[in-house]
Amino acid sequence: MHHPGLWASRIHFVAFYGLIGLGLFSLRAALQQVSTQQVPDPDQVLVLLMLPVLLAAGFWGWRFSLFSTAKVYARQLRLHAVQNQLVVALGLLVLLCIPLTYTLLLTHKVASVESRNQLISDVNALNIGEYLTMGPDQYSWINLIDGAFSYQELEQIVENTRSEQGKLAHLQAYLSTLEKYGIRLDPQLRPEQLLYAYKKDGPPAVDYIEKDKVFRHISRIDRAQRNALGYQQADSLHLVIFFFFFLWLGILIFQQVQWKVFALSLLLGVAGLIAGSFLGLGMEAWFGLEGATPYSLIFVVALLFLLIQTYRSYNSKRLKAWKSVCMSLAAFLTPFLPLMMVLMVNNELSKSTQNGLWYLGLLLGIYMWNAAYHQRFAELQAQPKDN
């Protein structure tokens, strides 16, 4: 075969099954029933679908690492490192397209459930009904969507509706709206039973949990129409990119070390994060350091310590594994270095500056991997062990 490294990566399997999965989930999104009574949460769906994607990426990375063209063919193929990185990025992109595409299609269906004008009318009906049933003393304004009545407008409408028939009409619209968005009301419940019932023992209770479901449904439709769901926010999109990058980086590191070393690196990384958080709080209390300064100092010291550990002179079997662990943690931490260094000087950065620093960190991580980490991992594996 002319490209043994490419075939050994099993990227063709990932692409084949990934495209099948993309087609099946797209079909499921097209056939899924979405109505005002059944409104799924696209944010929650995306998080749930990310879990199997993470498992699939981990399994693929493990299978990918079993075959090394450098070992089998006793030579490093030309541009092997770059090809390897591009293959990993392509495979992850195929896998991540499945949950993202499904979520986008589902969001479009949720946004199309109800027109914008009708949604505003439904919120107004709920607000007026809540005001009439709870009374001005117990009522709290439901500020669900933009364009609905303000609290002052709502009070004015209720005050202008002096006739009992007008109030009953508002309450009938209120009950109809509750049923429209998924509440099962008692068939015997009438608007007359709700009118001013708060003056006695309170209204014939519409379950508060059921009411919350109505409000959630309306909120999801509103946010889908305004492209304001959680995953559509700029910060969330940045997190998706960073998730993709660190998954990519994790697979590259896993290819260079044994799985035990990789697992130990993750455990020590989590433990170090927890310990560093407590140490940072202690530095704030003991030395009066504020903001990001103590955490940035701890981060820089930890990164320098890890890099120094990888260049220790002795090379016993145990120390060789420790060097690999330190190198793995250093590779994971490097993308955060630009942000931490600037936060030490100024922790009042604008959002755009912070985002720029994040992406600078990603570029630095890629550069450091190609310039130093990849070669250093190869040197660690090639070093003979001292007796």
Look at residues 60, 50, 37 and name the one whose alpha carbon lies nearest to residue 99: 50
In terms of pLDDT, which residue wins out, 105 or 384? 105
| Cα–Cα distance measured from residue 343 to residue 338, given in angstroms and rounded to the nearest whole number | 9
In terms of pLDDT, which residue wins out, 188 or 167? 167
Q: Find the mean pLDDT for residues 179-191.
A: 72
In terms of pLDDT, which residue wins out, 105 or 343? 105
Asked if the model's pLDDT at residue 201 lies above 60, the reply is no
Q: Find the mean pLDDT for residues 259-272.
A: 86
**pLDDT attached to residue 78:** 53
Task: Transcribe 251-264 into DSSP letters.
Answer: HHHHHHS-HHHHHH
**pLDDT attached to residue 106:** 92
Residue 182, phi then psi, degrees to nearest 5: 115, 0
Task: State which H helix or E strand residue 268 sits in.
Answer: helix 259-287
In Å, how far from its chain's centre is CA 86?
24
Model confidence band, residue 142 (pLDDT cutoffs 50, 70, 90): low
Please write the tens of the pLDDT for every residue from 22-39: 899 989 988 888 888 888
Asked if the model's pLDDT at residue 205 lies above 70, the reply is no
Please write the tens of the pLDDT for every residue from 107-139: 999 988 988 888 888 888 888 877 777 766 666
Task: Transcribe 106-167 into DSSP letters.
Answer: HHHHHHTSS-HHHHHHHHHHHHHHHHHHHHHHH------STTSPPHHHHHHHHHH--SHHHH
| Cα–Cα distance measured from residue 154 to residue 387, given in angstroms and rounded to the nearest whole number | 84
Average pLDDT, the chain: 78
**pLDDT attached to residue 277:** 82
Q: Find the mean pLDDT for residues 206-229.
A: 80
Please write the tens of the pLDDT for every residue from 349-382: 677 777 787 788 888 888 888 888 888 887 787 7
68-82, 235-249, 267-281, 305-319: range with lowest mean pLDDT: 68-82
Asked if the model's pLDDT at residue 386 lies above 70, the reply is no
**pLDDT attached to residue 197:** 57
In terms of pLDDT, which residue wins out, 330 or 229? 330
Q: Find the mean pLDDT for residues 334-348.
A: 73
